[in-house]
Structure 1
Amino acid sequence: MNRPTIADLSKAAGVSLSTVNRLLHGTGSVRQETVDRILDAADEIGFYGLGSLRARKRENLPHRRLGFLMQQSHRPLYQMWAEGITDAAARYADAVIETNVQFEDDLSPEAVATNLMKMGENADALAIITADHPLVSQAIDELRARGVPVVAYVTDLSAASRAGFVGTDNWKAGRTAAWFVSQTATEPGRVVPLIGSHRYQCQDISDASFRSYMREHAPDFQVAETILTHEEPENAYSIFRRLIDEEPDLRGLFVNGGGISGVLRAMRELPIERQRDIRIICRDIGPEARKGLTEGLITAALCHSIEKMPRQLIEVMLHLVERRNTASIEQRIVPFEIITPESIWT
């Protein structure tokens, strides 16, 4: 049997011979749906140049440069988020994406704004995780004027020029954390929310909704003033040790931000009987949180999806690149995951 020819392929795909030749030789653009139809036909008839066609399909795709500014390179959770982004970009079928993932360990707004502007020099779109601050908003305004859309990731920003937001429903997350504390505590007592910074909107909203639920549905519990950890495990450790000494009726801790490793270190120093009296809810699913869940020290982790969040983020960024001139803000709310000691995967 003679092997299929280019003419056979054009007939099987229902396109002109010149269209197939353009795709094979890379001499002109071909619509993506037409490329897919030719590839399907080539696979069906056993066309000898299938490998070349697949390579041409990739070359025919739009090429985009996307930048992602993360924080705290020492935190495993941020490393997991970065890995999820690069994996999602590599698997994306409708564009060739060049990713530039950077970490900013200096959390000052000056450092974040400077790094954001620098990354914007060589990016079609940017995504950022950062605390809300006027200096960051100013940088986003300037990038928008240059035609570089900026998407807030995980935590929203107040910048009017931000192009989008991809994150979870933080109001629901806070109320869910309160539900776990009130429903699983052995008896009413003191409950303490920990927060990394009030300038992280995701944390501030969760903190407010946590209190809202406790006022409505658990009035027998006493919710203490929110304590700042500044995202540092050592601070969280010292705070929790002090609470243990000063609050004999401590029943719950909402670790709403960084610091879970410090909390767990303090928890492991307690007698088992005391551990059983304290419910810990966190918003982390890094290695330390996973270990704490496995040990039964954490009651529940309310975490961002490592697979769904990056995929939604990349889709939003690519969509915004195609419509740079729009003034509207694109928002994607991705359901958070609830992990308990009985559902943790190993």
Structure 2
Amino acid sequence: MAHRFTVKQIAAQAGVSAATVDRARHGREHVHEQTRRRVDAAIRELEEQAAAGIPAGLGLTFDVLLNSPERFSQAVRRAFVAAAADMAPLRIAPRFHTDERMRPARIADRLRAFERRATHGVVLKAPEHPAIVAAIESLTARGVPVVTFATDIRCGSRIAYVGIDNTAAGRTAAFLLSRFLGESGGVVLANLGSRDFHGENDRWRGFADFMAARCPRVEVVPTDGGYGLEHATYERARAERAKRGAIAGIYSMGGGNRGLLRALDEAGDREVAFVGHDLDDENRGLLRAGRIDAVVDHDLQADAARAIRHLLCFRRHGRAAEHGASRAVIVTPWNI
């Protein structure tokens, strides 16, 4: 397929040599299939950057590794491309690596692979796991800065966490549900994608503490392990509905909201107070359809810009980025 980028530009974006790009683009032997896919992805990323107005040339090239559902990964991707475009005439070139289900050992392998690739830094959304912590420490020991994004990893060598205050977000969701439910009480499902993510545990702790202190008539039932995927979340919600009876409210901090709603629709629970997280395309549609009452959101593009500034500052190319968590924003069907 024709494109307008030089071999050198593609090689820099892909993090491989110009010779490897040449072999991959001409279908020659001795090129691993994963390398061919990376070269093809680099061309797509360059096209995306050009469409956004990011200038060509040398600049900051960094890797964004996201272990998250595709709908959230796409929202993050758009946020980073837009934030990079706003920094012109600096050339800020993100490379994306996304997977909905990735074992910690595989994430650690990918992080170590960045040691062999020309990268100015890594932005990471991943669960907290000893293998991942070790890989972060190995990267930083080699001078590659790591910024954790959306969910933190307790690792002294990462240079910053960028994202929402997840404990405050959980409390905010609890406050909203307490107002929606009033004195009626009932069973509330608290849906976590996975307890392996530090951020979701923080959301759960903030939510559970608030509800225990202020809503004694509410029974909070946590469900986890759906990883934000629709069918897996549906199965867990259906099992809890069969066990607990009618559901009065849902706090979905882990996604998979269509699966949650399907399980409750099948059980006949139509009037359920529902608070979700992140104004991605799916949740925007559910808000407009009246299936979700509110979403706890934050400014992904501002977070992306802050992550980039941390990497720039590490490379001594700009002022220090602000530390501290992003503020939660409440989105309803009336202010989308």
TM score, norm. by length of structure 1: 0.74
Change beyond 3 A, Cα 1:143–1:329: farther
Alignment of 1:90-129 (within 5 A): 90-93=85-88, 95-120=90-115, 121-129=117-125
Q: Contact 2:70 / 2:99 at 8 angstroms: preserved in 1?
A: no
Is 2:306–2:322's contact at 8 Å kept on the other side of the alignment?
Answer: no
Report the counterpart of residue 89 of structure 1 in structure 2.
84
Residues 144, 122 of structure 1: CA spacing in aligned structure 2 closer, same or farther, 3 A cutoff? Answer: same
Q: What corresponds to 2:328 in structure 1?
A: 336
- Change in Cα spacing, 1:249 to 1:267, as seen in structure 2 (3 Å) is closer
The match for 1:265 among 257, 262, 267 is 262
Moved more, 80-89 or 224-233: 224-233
Segment of structure 1 superposing worse, 157-166 or 61-70: 61-70
Match of 1:218 among 215, 239, 261: 215
Q: Which residue is 1:286 aligned to?
A: 280
Tell whether 2:289 aligns with 1:295: yes
Local SS of the residue matching 2:238: helix
SS of the residue corresponding to residue 224 of structure 1 reads strand
CA RMSD, Structure 1 to Structure 2 (Å): 2.4
Q: 1:268 to 1:295 in 2, by over 3 A?
A: farther
Per-residue Cα deviation, 1:32-70 (whole angstroms, up to 9, x for no partner): xxxxxxxxxxxxxxxxxxxxxxxxxx89x9821111112
Q: Distance in 2 between matches of 1:216 and 1:275?
A: 28
Amino acid at match of 1:341: P
- 1:101-147 deviations in Å (ceiling 9; x for gaps): 12134421111111112234211111110001111111111111111
Is 1:177 aligned to residue 173 of structure 2?
yes
Corresponding residue number in structure 2 for 1:246: 243
Runs of 5+ in structure 2 lacking a partner?
Answer: 1-54
Is the contact between residue 163 and residue 330 of structure 1 (CA under 8 Å) also seen in structure 2?
A: no
Q: 1:332 to 1:145 in 2, by over 3 A?
A: same
* 8 Å CA contact retained: 1:260, 1:284: no
CA distance in 2, matches of 1:282, 1:229: 15
| Aligned partner letter, 1:145 | A
How many residues matched? 278
SS at match of 2:234: helix
- Residues 339 and 89 of structure 1: is their aligned pair in 2 closer, same or farther, counting only changes over 3 Å? same
In 1, the alpha carbon distance for the partners of 2:165 and 2:315 equals 25
State the shift of 1:311 in Å.
1.4
1:167-201 deviation digits (Å, cap 9, x = unpaired): 11111100111111111026111112111111211
Name the amino acid aligned to 1:189: G
Counterparts of 1:85 and 1:343 in 2: how far apart (Å)? Answer: 24
Look up the equivalent residue of 1:343 and give its one-letter code: N
Cα distance in 1, alignment partners of residues 313 and 85 from structure 2 = 17
> Residue in 1 aligned with 2:3?
none
State the alpha-carbon separation in 2 of the partners of residues 252 and 228 from structure 1.
Answer: 19
Q: Contact 1:281 / 1:298 at 8 angstroms: preserved in 2?
A: yes
Q: Partners of 2:284 and 2:242 in 1: how far apart?
A: 26
Q: What is the identity, as a one-letter code, of the residue corresponding to 1:221?
A: V
Question: Aligned residue for 1:45?
Answer: none
Q: Structure 1 residues 329, 319: closer, same or farther in 2, change over 3 A?
A: closer
The amino acid across from 1:301 in the alignment is V
In 2, the alpha carbon distance for the partners of 1:125 and 1:330 equals 18
Aligned to 2:61: 65
Asked if the contact 1:193/1:256 (under 8 Å) is kept, the reply is: yes
**Structure showing greater Rg:** 1
Structure 1 match to 2:270: 275
Match of 1:75 among 65, 70, 77: 70
Report the equivalent of 1:166: 162
Question: Quick one: distance in 2 between partners of 1:235 and 1:263?
Answer: 10
Structure 1 distance, partners of 2:219, 2:212, is 9
Please tell me the residue identity of whatever aligns with 2:64. F
**Secondary structure of the residue that 1:199 maps to in structure 2?**
coil
Alignment of 1:20-39 (within 5 A): none
Aligned to 1:137: 133
In 1, are the aligned partners of 2:310 and 2:321 still within 8 Å (CA)?
A: no
Deviation at 1:165, TM superposition (A): 0.7
Counterparts in 2 of 1:206 and 1:105: CA distance versus 1, 3 Å: closer
Matched position secondary structure for 1:151: strand
User: 1:321: how far off?
Assistant: 2.2
User: Residue in 2 aligned with 1:40?
Assistant: none
Query: TM-score, normalized by length of structure 2?
Result: 0.76
Q: Select between 189-198 and 225-234 the one with higher mean Cα deviation.
A: 225-234
